[in-house]
Amino acid sequence: MASIQPEFFPESIVSYVPFLARDKRYETERPYATDFPVDDIDGADVTNHVMEIVPVTFHNVRCLKEPLSLDSNGVCFIKATTSLRAGEATIERTPAMEQYAREVIAVLRDRFPQYTDIQCMDFQVRKRSPAFPHGHKQIKVDHAQPATVPHTDFSRRGAYLRMEDIFPDQEALYRQRQFDLINVWRVLEGPNDDWPLAVCDYSSIDVEHDTTVNDALHLTRVGENWLLHHSDAHRWYYLSGMEEDDLIVFRNVDSSGELSRCFHVAFNNPSAQGSLRHSVEIRLVAFREGQMA
């Protein structure tokens, strides 16, 4: 496909996003959501989320005078060529995915020398169904769909829960070490503007008032992440016309729970043309020098 020319890059897009509402019920109960049916459990609901749909302005990273940084903003955009192609992308650890992990780790080592050891945790592949977002739950889909609620993948406690899943019986690997849980996200076929991934500048978030812990209930395990309440102060960014060598690198959480983190969401781009979004992300644990206090 031909590259999108710079003169066609919009400076910003307005779209509607569902945020977790600042509802009084969360004064006495924690937000939660399941990814499995609960019809056979009396009185159970798949989620207790109360949402508010809010218009959000998404600014184009291509129009920024200064780049976003992992340390200050929780996210950065970098260029890097990798070998993975759309037909090879899967959540399984195939030879192609293992090669992709090695390539991404090499990119991160070069860009972020503070990481002394980087290991792959897992992969996610999303391919938007034509039925998404209306009706996709009533039909069978072969891939995960875009995530439409602003979140981080893990809270601090959720990071350790997931590490236990990924590295069983290896507590010495991570319990006393400083680490970041990093995502690297890209499209598999570009240029693409369909349901792009947007990121929120961490420096625009009031962590105490704008974020809340959410229980992520799976059939065989329990996770925990952060959800975001809406605020007009938030600054949201996306990259128009993403190519296959455009990588979004962001931190979900660090071992202390205190460093910048990246709340992210997919949004409906009303001006998108071309193919439906097909993306791959790899989640990694990146260790830094030093022991936990």
For residue 241, being part of any structural domain is answered with yes
Provide the pLDDT confidence category of residue 292 given band limits of 50, 70 and 90. low
Q: How far apart are CA 274 and CA 277, in angstroms?
A: 9
Check: CB of residue 284 under 8 Å from CB of residue 181: yes
Q: The dihedral of CA 276, 128, 163, 264: what is its sign?
A: positive
For residue 30, being part of any structural domain is answered with no
For residue 267, being part of any structural domain is answered with yes
Please name every residue paired with 56 in a beta bridge, in sequence order, or none if there are none. Answer: 15
Rg from Cα positions in the chain:
19
At 164, is the secondary structure helix, strand, or coil?
A: helix
Candidates 287, 291, 293; CA nearest to 114 is 287
Structure tokens given for 149: 């609620």
For residue 154, being part of any structural domain is answered with yes
Domain carrying residue 190: 58-291
Phi, psi of 112 (to 5 degrees): -125, 80
For residue 8, being part of any structural domain is answered with no
Query: Which alpha helices (H) appear in the chain, and where do they start and end?
Result: 70-73, 95-111, 156-166, 171-174, 207-210
Lowest mean pLDDT among 166-170, 203-207, 214-218, 242-246: 166-170
Q: How far apart are CA 90 and CA 120, in angstroms?
A: 14
For residue 248, being part of any structural domain is answered with yes
248-286 confidence digits (pLDDT tens) = 999 999 999 999 999 999 999 998 988 999 999 999 999
207-233 confidence digits (pLDDT tens) = 999 999 999 998 888 999 999 999 999
Please name every residue paired with 249 in a beta bridge, in sequence order, or none if there are none. Answer: 76, 184
For residue 18, being part of any structural domain is answered with no
Residue tagged 């890097």 (tokens): 80
48-78 confidence digits (pLDDT tens) = 999 999 999 999 999 998 999 999 999 999 9
Q: What are the angstrom distances between the C-alpha of 227 and each of 22, 51, 69, 78, 184?
A: 11, 11, 22, 26, 20
Number of residues written out for the chain: 293
For residue 246, being part of any structural domain is answered with yes
Domain count, the chain: 1
Which CATH number belongs to the domain containing residue 178 in this structure? 2.60.120
